């Protein structure tokens, strides 16, 4: 019974360490992506870090401009070029 209790305590401590600390507050980030095919794309997200917000914003930008269509590699590269260079607003 004692090894089970030890395992539960170890697991609980690992879970607590993985949780964000109170100092890591959620912030609102806004990004504006350059004009692509006549459209400027803006994206807002709440995230714990700017890096996390940027990754999600870049992914959302690519999904937005790609849409539900099959695109060529060159066209995809053009979208990527726009989506990896947002401006914070």
- Count the domains in the chain: 1
Position 46 in a domain? yes
pLDDT at residue number 3: 65
Position 5 in a domain? no
What whole-number percentage of the chain has pLDDT above 70?
71
Position 37 in a domain? yes
Position 13 in a domain? no
Position 10 in a domain? no
For the chain, the distance separating the N- and C-terminal CA atoms, rounded to the nearest angstrom, is: 56
Position 74 in a domain? yes
Position 65 in a domain? yes
- The answer to whether residues 83 and 62 touch, using CB atoms and an 8 Å cutoff, is yes
Q: Give the confidence band of 6 by pLDDT, cuts at 50, 70, 90.
A: low
pLDDT at residue number 37: 87
Position 31 in a domain? yes
Tens digit of each residue's pLDDT (9 = 90 or more) over 30-72: 999 988 888 999 999 999 999 999 999 999 999 999 999 999 9
State which residues form the domain around 28.
22-88
Round to whole Å and give the CA distance between 58 and 34.
12
């Amino acid at each position: 019974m004692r090894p089970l209790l030890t395992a539960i305590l170890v697991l609980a401590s690992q879970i607590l360490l993985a949780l964000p600390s109170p100092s890591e507050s959620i912030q609102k980030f806004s990004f504006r992506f350059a004009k692509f095919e006549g459209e400027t794309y803006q994206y807002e997200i709440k995230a714990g870090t700017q890096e996390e917000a940027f990754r999600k914003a870049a992914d959302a930008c690519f999904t937005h401009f790609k849409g539900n269509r099959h695109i060529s590699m060159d066209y995809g590269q053009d979208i990527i070029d726009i989506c990896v260079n947002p401006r914070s607003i």
